[in-house]
Amino acid sequence: MDFITGRSMPRRTFVRGMGAAVALPFLDAMVPAGRLFGRRKVESDPTRFVAIEIVHGAAGSNEWGATQHLWAPAETGRDFDLTPSALRPLERYRDYLTIISNTDVRQAEPAKAEEIGGDHFRSSAVFLTQAHPRQTESSDVHVGTSLDQLYATRSGQGTPIPSMQLCIENVDQAGGCAYGYACVYTDTISWASPTEPLPMIRDPRVAFDQLFGAGGSAEERAVRRRSTGSILDWIAGDVAKLKRTLGPNDVERLDRYLENVRELERRIQGVEAHNTSGEPRDLPGAPAGVPDSFGEHVRLMFDLQALAFASDMTRVFSFKLGRDASSRVYPESGTDTPFHPSSHHGGRKDAVLDFAKINTYHVGQLPYFLDRLREIQEGDANLLDKTMVVYGSPMADGNLHNHRRCPLIVLGGANGAMRGGEHVRAPDGTPMANAMLTLMHRLGMDDVAEFGDSTGTLAL
C-alpha cells in the first residue's frame, strides 16, 4: 500500500481501458504518509476558474429596473437584501457571493459611425477581453486575449486539457453575421490571442469524451461509443485492483466519484436515445447529445465541469449560456416571451418585470453548480472554496443596446482570495476591465498591470 510506506500515488493518475482514460479524484493515497495527519494540502492548491456569460444584459440595468433593484441590491457592503433582485436564487450562497455593480463595458460600444447597431455582434468578444473588436466579416478578426486564456497559460499547462470552452446555443455559423462583423465574435468568449478565437463545445457527449474517452486508439474509442454500456465497464478490472491498495476513505471517495461519472454518462445516453427515437424535437438540427431542455443541458454541462475539476483534468472553463439575438423561450422561467424580444421591453414596467423573470431563471441555474462543487472534498477544503466563478454580461440594457451598469457577480472562495458576502458599487464610469484586473490579481496574476481599458483596480 503505497500511501503507508511513504510512496504516494501521483496526483495525475489515470485508470485506462479500451478507448477510455479516467483520471482519478484527489485521494489520501496521493499525499506522502508523513503528512497524512497534518494538513492534507493538495500540491500547488490551484484555484479553478469558470467564466459564464449571459447575453442581452439584465432588467436591473434598465433605468427604471435599476430603481427597483432588479439586479443589484440597494445596499452596498455586507448587509444587502436580495429579495427584489434576480440574484435572489443565490441567497443560500450569499457568503460566497460578491456583487460588483455599476461597471461599464465601453469597448463593446461603437467606435465609429459604421459600427452603430452592431452591439449584438461584437459584445461577446468583449466580455473576457475588454477590448474592441475589429469590424470585419473576413478572417482578419482581432480583439484581445481573454482572461480565461491568460489564466490558462499560467494554471493549466500542467493539466491534460489547459482549458475547455462550453456553450448552450448553436454557435457554429461561419462568415459574416450582421453590421459587418464576423460570426466568430458572437460565437465565442475565449480568445487564445487577439486573432485566435477558440471554438466552444455545445454537445455534452463531445465534452464527456474529451474528459473521459481519450484513451486508446481511434478504433477503440469508436467501439466504445457504439456500446450501450458504461465507460466504467472498460476499466472495471483496473479499478478493482486499485481499490485493493487504498484505505476505506479513499475507496468510498473513489466509488462516489465513479458513480457520478456513470450517472452523468447515463443521462447523456438517455438524451441521445430520446433524440434519435424519431420523436419531434424542440431543437431540430441540434446534435443528438444536446437536450431540448435548457435546464437539463445546463446541468449536464455543470456536472462535466465539476467532475473535470475533481479529476484535475482542467482548471479553466468558459461557458456561454446564450447567443446574442437568440429568440429561445424558457417555459420554466414563468414567461413565454422569447429571449431577444423580451430584452426589447421598450422600458414598459410590465415588460421589464417580464424580462426580469428570465434573468432570475438564468441565475437560478447557478446553485446546482455550486452544490456540486461544495459536495466535492479535496484535501481540507471543498471545491467551491477553491473556485472562482464569474457570471455577467457585456451588455447592460438590452432594450437600448447600451453597456453601462452591466451585470457582474463573482462566486466561490478562490482559495481564500474572495471573501464573499459583499456588494461593491463602483463609481460612475468605472470600466468592467477594472473588476477583471482585480480578479486576475486574486487569481495570482499580480504582475498584470493593466487589462483592456482598465484604469486601475477595485477595492473588494
The model's pLDDT over 438-451, given as tens digits with 9 standing for 90+, comes to 999 999 999 999 99
Distance from the Cα of residue 213 to its chain's centroid: 21
Do both 312 and 210 map to the same domain?
A: no
Same domain, 306 and 267: no
Contact between 32 and 6 (Cβ < 8 Å): yes
Q: Write out the three cell numbers for 310.
A: 475533481
Highest mean pLDDT among 29-38, 240-249, 367-376: 367-376
Amino acid at the residue 437: L
Boundary of a domain, candidates 243, 265, 289: 289
Separation between Cα atoms, residue 155 and residue 88, nearest integer Å? 32
CA-to-CA distance for 46 and 418, rounded, in angstroms?
14
194 and 335 part of one domain = yes
Share of the chain above pLDDT 70, in %: 91
In tens, the pLDDT along 3-18 reads 333 457 888 788 887 6
Of 19-33, 244-258, 299-313, 336-350, the least confident: 19-33
Please indicate, yes or no, if residue 460 is contained in any of the structural domains.
no
Q: Looking at the structure, do residues 334 and 386 belong to the same domain, yes or no?
A: yes
Going by pLDDT thresholds of 50, 70 and 90, the confidence category of residue 116 is: very high
Average pLDDT over residues 263-288: 95
Whether 38 and 134 map to the same domain: the answer is no
pLDDT reading at 105 higher than 70: yes
Is 85 inside any structural domain?
A: yes
pLDDT of residue 4: 35
**Is pLDDT above 70 for 127?**
yes
Taking residue 76's Cβ as centre, other Cβ atoms within 10 Å add up to 15
pLDDT of residue 6: 42
Domain final residue, candidates 289, 313, 340: 289
Of 361 and 23, the structure prediction assigns the larger pLDDT to: 361
Residue 70: phi and psi, rounded to 5, are -75, -10
Cell of 298: 445546463
Residues 55 and 188 in one domain: yes
- Where do we find the cell 429568440? 327
236 belongs to a structural domain: yes
| C-alpha cell read off for 229 | 454500456
330 plus 432 within the same structural domain: yes
Cell of 341: 424580444
> Which residue, 62, 87, 57, is CA-closest to 72?
87
Shared domain check, 317 and 179: yes
Q: Tell me how many degrees the CA angle 208-213-217 measures, rounded to the nearest 5.
A: 150
Q: Do residues 191 and 146 touch, judged by C-beta distance below 8 A?
A: yes
191-193 and 14-17 as β-strands: parallel, antiparallel, unpaired? unpaired
What is the phi/psi pair of residue 2, to 5°?
-60, -35
160 lies in the same domain as 32: no
Examine the pLDDT at 264 and tell me if it is beyond 90.
yes
Centre a 10 Å sphere on the Cβ of residue 153 and count the other Cβ atoms it contains.
14
CA distances for 29 relative to 11, 71, 80, 160, angstroms: 9, 45, 43, 21
- Residue 405: per-residue pLDDT: 95
Separation of alpha carbons 128 and 340, rounded Å: 22
Beta bridge partners of 99: 409, 423
pLDDT classification of 175: cutoffs 50, 70, 90: low
Q: What is the pLDDT of residue 215?
A: 55
Q: Can you read off the three cell numbers belonging to residue 37?
A: 495527519
Angle of the 204-212 helix axis to the 294-310 helix axis, nearest 10: 10
Domain span at 142 = 50-202+290-455
Q: How many domains does the chain have?
A: 2
139 domain residue, yes or no: yes
Query: Is the CB of residue 453 less than 8 Å from the CB of residue 431?
Result: yes
Q: What is the CATH number of the domain that holds 166?
A: 3.40.720.10
* Residue 86 is assigned to a structural domain of this protein: yes
**Both 208 and 302 in a single domain?**
no
Element (H, E) at 2: helix 2-5
Pairwise CA distance, residues 420 & 58, whole Å: 22
- With pLDDT > 90 as the criterion, what percentage of the chain qualifies? 81
Within-domain flag for 326: yes
Q: Lowest-confidence range among 125-129, 167-171, 192-196, 413-417?
A: 167-171
Whether the predicted pLDDT of 238 surpasses 90: no
Residue 231 has pLDDT above 90, yes or no: no
Residue at a domain's end among 289, 311, 335:
289
What is the per-residue pLDDT for 36?
47
* Helix, strand and coil in the chain, % to nearest 5: 40, 15, 45
Confidence grade of residue 228 (pLDDT, cut at 50, 70, 90): low
User: Is residue 209 in some structural domain?
Assistant: yes
Whether residues 331 and 403 share a domain: the answer is: yes
Distance (Å, whole) CA 11 – CA 23: 9
Residues 6+ apart with CB under 8 A from 164: 201, 207, 210, 305, 308, 314, 316, 317, 318
Residue 265 lies in a domain: yes
CA distances from 267 to 50, 138, 205, 270, 304 (A): 23, 39, 10, 5, 12
What backbone torsions phi and psi does residue 113 show, to the nearest 5 degrees? -60, -40
Residues 306 and 442 in one domain: yes
